[in-house]
């Protein structure tokens, strides 16, 4: 049960699944505040946990679980993310303390139960029809299933995933706001996605399509005025807090009188605090009394929801304290540096590619960045508009989450070009025109990237079955548009095969990028000579990219 490979696979699958469903979940978000960010917050929380696990060098599964749970706590975003971090933390602590002789199915079911109970305790006023309900009903079903002696762990998680979906369908009947909008609960959908991912990690089963009722969307952006009256706080306040348990008990009581949607999670001296209030200063000062607040984040709901087309200019009661019954002038936000111009952020697979992108005016980011890395890169550009070239499929998901985050937090306009190969990024950057309108520039770069056919030559590191047949370690592999098309042969033979297939469909320009496996550029030179001999009218440009794993990257335009 405590298999390190399974834990890492689970962490990756959960983050990827929540990233894949991020926009869907955001579209369901009408409770407690219709700010369309539940999916983004759940994804960023899971991504932070995954990244913390990846950064931990340990062979001990229990240490890995602790690192993952701490990453979720530190990276939790929004009401839903904080609740998710507490669910995960409590459940994983139960798994980490499992004793020899305990039946795995019972331990796993108990972990779900413990996680659900911890989440309920963390929320000051639990509301049914939310992610709390979905998690609880799934855990109860799992616990009942685990009581049968013949039940295995995979049976328990299958029941939990199935019952989470059933519970999700019922949420509109429990929460009138959902019924009015015609949607299921966004956070509950996130729990369903998570449990489907656990099922996938343990069994390899892929989730079945969702019923139509679960996939429903609001016909138009929900009107949030009901949340922004004198009965609904106008600000979301979050911070990490260094404090002892006694101080946190008092903090909960104080924050409970200031607002709603109060969630305080953590332990061992570190806490994540989330609350909706009118008096931002009082919420932060309560944290100062309790301990040391840091990483403070304040969101004004009216400004955030405006980005989704809701007209809140007439929303009454903003800045009105429920407790004191008098108008309060909220503490003004810290000055935000003026952002101007447009920047391009490009993920570079090697040092040569990084230099190439930098020479073209882009900000180069090292290969395989985390979401946090990309958020930092986008923020540090100082630009009002940013175009991102992720240059591989995995990074594209991180780039989209980072883009959404800085759009929400800083108002930066961001577009992610769907480049899945380094050479597509090179081609897109070549047509970048900062003097054009943002939309026009993005359109031209996107079209160029999509019309760039790309290939690669690599060497197999392990035995596998590819789309071109089985391969063994050391076999040369040819790749076109992400699919294996050739197994076997020397590097030059495979490279010419790949290029021949690409150029056979026509083209005027061939781009060759030599990698760390061809430090002298001999392979690229041989391919360039072949093009000069057989395709006189085709131009060739060659770069030293220095990328790992791929001695040669090829593009045809």
pLDDT of residue 476: 93
Q: Measured at the alpha carbon of residue 361, what is the angle toward residues 355 and 365, in degrees to the nearest 5?
A: 55
Write down all domains in the chain, each with its CATH number in brackets.
4-222 (1.25.40.340), 227-306 (3.30.70), 342-450 (3.40.50.510), 453-556 (3.30.1180)
pLDDT at 219 over 70: no
**Given its phi and psi angles, is residue 217 left (phi above 0), alpha (psi -120 to 50 degrees) or beta?**
beta
- Name which of 173, 187, 97, 111 is nearest 142 in CA terms: 111
Question: Is the Cα torsion angle 457, 458, 463, 465 positive or negative in sign?
Answer: negative
CA distances from 139 to 106, 131, 255, 317, 539 (A): 11, 12, 30, 40, 62
Instruction: Identify whether the C-beta of residue 6 lies closer than 8 Å to the C-beta of residue 13.
Output: no
pLDDT: is 183 or 113 the higher one?
113
Q: How would you classify the pairing of strands 385-389 and 413-416?
A: parallel
State the pLDDT confidence band at 310, using cuts at 50, 70 and 90.
Answer: very low
Residues 264 and 252: their CA atoms lie apart, in Å, by 7
Measured in residues, the chain has a length of 557
Residues 59 and 45: their CA atoms lie apart, in Å, by 24
Residues 304 and 235: their CA atoms lie apart, in Å, by 10
Tell me whether residue 305 is exposed, middle or buried, using C-beta atoms within 10 angstroms of its C-beta: 0 to 12, 13 to 18, 19 or more.
buried
pLDDT of residue 408: 73
pLDDT of residue 294: 83
> What does the pLDDT look like over 499-526, one tens digit per residue?
999 988 888 899 999 999 888 899 999 9
pLDDT, averaged across the chain: 83
pLDDT at 305 over 80: no
The b-or-e profile of 523-557 (16+ CB within 10 A means b, else e) is bbeebbebbeeebeeeebebbbbbbeebbbbbbbb
Q: Measured at the alpha carbon of residue 467, what is the angle toward residues 549 and 416, in degrees to the nearest 5?
A: 60
The b-or-e profile of 33-64 (16+ CB within 10 A means b, else e) is bbbbbbbbbbbbbbbbbbbbbbeeeeeebbeb
The b-or-e profile of 324-339 (16+ CB within 10 A means b, else e) is eeeeeebeeeeeeeeb
pLDDT of residue 338: 73
Residues 401 and 77: their CA atoms lie apart, in Å, by 12
* Overall average pLDDT of the 127-153 stretch: 93
State the pLDDT confidence band at 301, using cuts at 50, 70 and 90.
Answer: low
pLDDT of residue 204: 74
One DSSP character per residue, 275-304 reads EEES-HHHHHHHHHHHSEEEEEEEEEHHHH
pLDDT: is 410 or 454 the higher one?
454
pLDDT at 370 over 90: no
Reduce the secondary structure of 93-139 to three states and give it as a string: HHHHCCCCCCCHHHHHHHHHHHHHHHHHHHECCCCCCCHHHHHHHHH
> What does the pLDDT look like over 320-336, one tens digit per residue?
333 333 233 333 444 44
Instruction: Identify whether the C-beta of residue 64 lies closer than 8 Å to the C-beta of residue 4.
Output: yes
SS3 assignment, position 264: strand
């Amino acid at each position: 049960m405590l298999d390190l490979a399974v834990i890492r696979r689970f962490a990756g699958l959960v983050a990827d699944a929540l990233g894949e469903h991020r926009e869907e979940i955001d579209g369901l978000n009408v409770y407690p505040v219709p700010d369309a960010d539940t999916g983004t917050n759940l994804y960023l929380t899971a991504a932070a946990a995954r990244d913390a696990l990846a950064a931990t060098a340990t062979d001990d599964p229990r240490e890995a679980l602790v690192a993952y749970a701490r990453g979720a706590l530190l990276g939790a975003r929004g009401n839903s993310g904080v609740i998710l971090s507490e669910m995960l933390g409590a459940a994983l602590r139960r798994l980490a303390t499992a004793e020899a002789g305990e039946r795995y199915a019972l331990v796993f079911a108990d972990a779900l139960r413990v996680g659900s109970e911890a989440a309920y305790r963390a929320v000051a006023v639990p509301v049914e029809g939310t992610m709390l309900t979905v998690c609880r009903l799934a855990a109860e079903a799992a616990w009942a299933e685990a009581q049968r002696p013949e039940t295995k762990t995979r049976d328990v998680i299958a029941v939990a995933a199935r019952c989470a979906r059933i519970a999700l369908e019922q949420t509109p009947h429990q929460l009138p706001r959902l019924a009015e909008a015609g949607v299921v609960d966004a956070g509950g959908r996130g729990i369903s996605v998570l449990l489907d991912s656990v099922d996938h990690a343990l069994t390899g089963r892929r989730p079945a399509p969702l019923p139509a009722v679960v996939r429903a969307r609001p016909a138009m952006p929900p009107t949030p005025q009901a949340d922004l009256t004198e009965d609904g706080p106008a600000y979301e306040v979050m911070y990490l807090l260094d404090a002892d348990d006694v101080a946190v008990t008092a903090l909960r009581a104080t924050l409970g009188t200031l607002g709603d949607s109060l969630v305080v999670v953590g332990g061992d001296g570190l806490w994540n605090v989330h609350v909706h209030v009118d008096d931002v200063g009082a919420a932060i000062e309560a944290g100062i009394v309790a301990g040391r607040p840091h990483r403070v984040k304040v969101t004004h709901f009216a400004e955030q929801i405006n980005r989704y087309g809701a007209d809140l200019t007439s929303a009454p009661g903003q800045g009105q304290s429920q407790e004191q019954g008098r108008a309060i002038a909220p503490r003004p936000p810290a000055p935000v540096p003026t952002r101007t111009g447009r920047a391009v952020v490009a993920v570079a697979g090697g040092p040569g590619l990084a230099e190439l992108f930098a020479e073209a005016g882009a900000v180069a980011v090292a290969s395989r960045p985390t979401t946090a890395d990309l958020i930092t890169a986008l923020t540090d550009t100082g630009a009002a508009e940013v175009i991102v070239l992720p240059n591989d499929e995995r990074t594209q998901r991180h780039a989209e989450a980072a883009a959404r985050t800085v759009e929400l937090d800083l108002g930066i306009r961001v577009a992610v070009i769907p480049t899945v190969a380094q050479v597509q990024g090179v081609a897109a950057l070549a047509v970048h025109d900062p003097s054009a309108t943002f939309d026009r520039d993005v359109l031209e770069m996107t079209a160029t990237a999509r019309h760039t056919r790309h290939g690669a030559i690599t060497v197999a590191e392990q035995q596998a079955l590819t789309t071109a047949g089985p391969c063994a370690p050391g076999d040369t592999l040819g790749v076109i548009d992400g699919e294996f098309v050739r197994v076997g042969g020397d590097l030059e033979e495979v490279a010419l095969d790949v290029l021949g297939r690409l150029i056979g469909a026509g083209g005027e320009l061939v781009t060759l990028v030599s990698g760390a496996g061809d430090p002298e550029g001999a392979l690229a030179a041989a391919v360039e000579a072949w093009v000069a001999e057989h395709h006189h009218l085709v131009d060739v440009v060659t770069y030293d990219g220095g990328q790992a794993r791929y001695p040669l990257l090829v593009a045809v335009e």
